[in-house]
Copies of this chain bind each other. A is one copy, B any other.
Amino acid sequence: MKHNKIRSIQSSQIGNVITVCGWIRTIRAQKSFSFIEINDGSTLSSLQIVADVSLPLYEDLLKKLSTGASISVTGELVESLGKGQRWELKAHAMHLFGTCPEDYPLQKKRHSFEFLRSLAHLRPRTNTQGAIARIRNALSIATHLFFQQRGFLYLHTPIITASDCEGAGKQFLVTTLDINKPPRHSDGNVNFTEDFFHKPAYLTVSGQLNAETFACAFSDVYTFGPTFRAENSNTSRHLAEFWMIEPEMAFADLDDNRECAEAYLRFLLRYVLDNCQEDLAFFERFIEKGLLNRLQQVAETEFAHLTYTQAIAILQKSEQSFAFPVEWGIDLQSEHERYLAETYCKKPLVLTDYPEKIKAFYMRENSDGKTVAAMDVLVPKIGEIMGGAQREERLDVLEKKLRLFGLHPEDYWWYMQLRSYGTVPHAGFGLGFERLVLFVTGMENIRDVIPFPRFPGHAEF
């Protein structure tokens, strides 16, 4: 079924006969002409079809058309006299694929995002969801472009795992046992040796440890895959299933990590500013005034850099009153992060060298003995958008840290062997993809920026 995408229609085609296929957004019947807007998802804009109602072949057809119906139209592309569009299609022939009855939930009016979540199968046909999906697509491709240009290897880390990366984070159990009547040991406990993997297995919370094994062979790698948290968080910032990008670089320290994270984020924003202008203008107009300025600023400004210790001093000297008191050793709260990024630095900011106790076991111990080579990238409006670290590459220090964190070195035998056999300084970071989409679109609820959100009580569709 040869046809043209609406996005691909160019002014050079004026006068040409083309065919488009799509779904009717609105239809307006006048005495001599019907004006039909159709959208095919390739772009935010609909194309206006002008149908001469006096042509006999339309008489029956036009009566069956309504919002949501699917049609193909062949006609001549002409310059539009109406405003708001540059061209329109003068219909020569029209075919109706599917009608759309009056109970179609997406009639031309505004619906709340919450209501639309209950229609995850139809909401892709709305302007907001259309624009989000195209931005997601662009950010995905930009991610691959950025890392491939730098010679990083794209890597698929496992989803099901018998180990827990961070020694923390509640995980989903994955099983083929009959949960009604699982096989049991004589002590009454479930006998996991009869499970699919012969032991308890979980959904991954991060591909990092696996990515480290590949960085220790290919130098620079990145993952882009789904990760999972079983925390019962019913907030606008948490999903049980979300996508994450995790680059990992060998022969790299925290400065290299910082450079890569900053270059990546700026590349992403430059890419959508250049390639998604129509969709971003939609978000600017309907979702967040000032969005384009905010993105432009982050794309063009060099990021500030402070150590955690400097940041604490700045917060303590500020005349801001914070709900959470500030002292060295605390985990920074969103109010602290936003003060630093929005008020103090007035631009994106990389914070580094956090207290050892509030960061994960695998982060490299600094020579001061109390901080580690961790980093968080903070941006205005969102706060933390990326987190990473130089990894502990010294076997003895890593083993000490594992014990300090109450973990069992024998569970990490393969991770430790990376430090026995040709260990290298290496570093990496993680970017939560849906947090990025919130940042780029100005949307407020993370459930609206992933096609089929999973959160407590919701795994529909």
Chain A residues at the B interface, C-beta cutoff of 8 Å: 1, 3, 5, 7-8, 21-24, 40-42, 68-70, 72, 97-101, 104, 120-122, 124-125, 129-130, 133-134, 136-137, 140-141, 144, 148, 151, 153-163, 170, 172-177, 179-180, 182, 188-190, 196-199, 201, 203, 210, 213-214, 216-219, 225-226, 228, 230, 232, 240-241, 243, 250-253, 256, 393, 414-415, 417-425, 450-452, 454, 456-461
Q: Are A421 and B214 in contact (CB under 8 A)?
A: no
Whose C-beta in chain B lies nearest to the C-beta of A433? B156
Q: Are A422 and B124 in contact (CB under 8 A)?
A: no
Q: Can you list 24 A-B pairs, Cβ within 8 angstroms, ordered by A?
A: A1-B425, A24-B422, A40-B219, A41-B219, A42-B151, A68-B422, A70-B422, A70-B424, A97-B393, A97-B425, A100-B420, A100-B422, A120-B414, A121-B213, A121-B417, A125-B217, A159-B226, A162-B459, A163-B460, A173-B177, A173-B179, A197-B458, A213-B461, A225-B226
Which residues from chain B contact A232 at a C-beta distance below 8 Å?
Answer: 196
Cα of A461 to Cα of B160 in the assembled complex, Å: 10
Q: Are A256 and B1 in contact (CB under 8 A)?
A: yes
Cα of A422 to Cα of B160 in the assembled complex, Å: 38
- Residue A153 contacts which of B41, B160, B217 (CB distance < 8 angstroms)? B41
Which residues from chain B contact A252 at a C-beta distance below 8 Å?
Answer: 1
Cα of A414 to Cα of B123 in the assembled complex, Å: 12
Nearest Cβ in chain B — how far from A243, in angstroms?
Answer: 6
Q: Are A121 and B415 in contact (CB under 8 A)?
A: yes
Given contacts A21-B251, A156-B226, A157-B451, contact A189 B180 (CB under 8 A): yes
Cα of A122 to Cα of B55 in the assembled complex, Å: 72
Tell me which of A68, A100, A460 has the highest count of chain B C-beta atoms within 10 A of its own C-beta: A460
Cα of A433 to Cα of B198 in the assembled complex, Å: 26
Q: Are A451 and B158 in contact (CB under 8 A)?
A: yes
Cα of A420 to Cα of B172 in the assembled complex, Å: 36
Cα of A210 to Cα of B121 in the assembled complex, Å: 8
Q: Are B459 and A158 in contact (CB under 8 A)?
A: yes
Q: Are A251 and B72 in contact (CB under 8 A)?
A: yes
Question: 9 closest A-B pairs (Cβ-Cβ)?
Answer: A41-B218, A98-B423, A124-B217, A70-B422, A21-B251, A121-B414, A197-B459, A121-B213, A158-B452
Whose C-beta in chain B lies nearest to the C-beta of A222? B137
Which residues from chain B contact A120 at a C-beta distance below 8 Å?
Answer: 213, 414
Q: Are B173 and A154 in contact (CB under 8 A)?
A: no
Nearest Cβ in chain B — how far from A169, in angstroms?
Answer: 12
Cα of A412 to Cα of B302 in the assembled complex, Å: 51
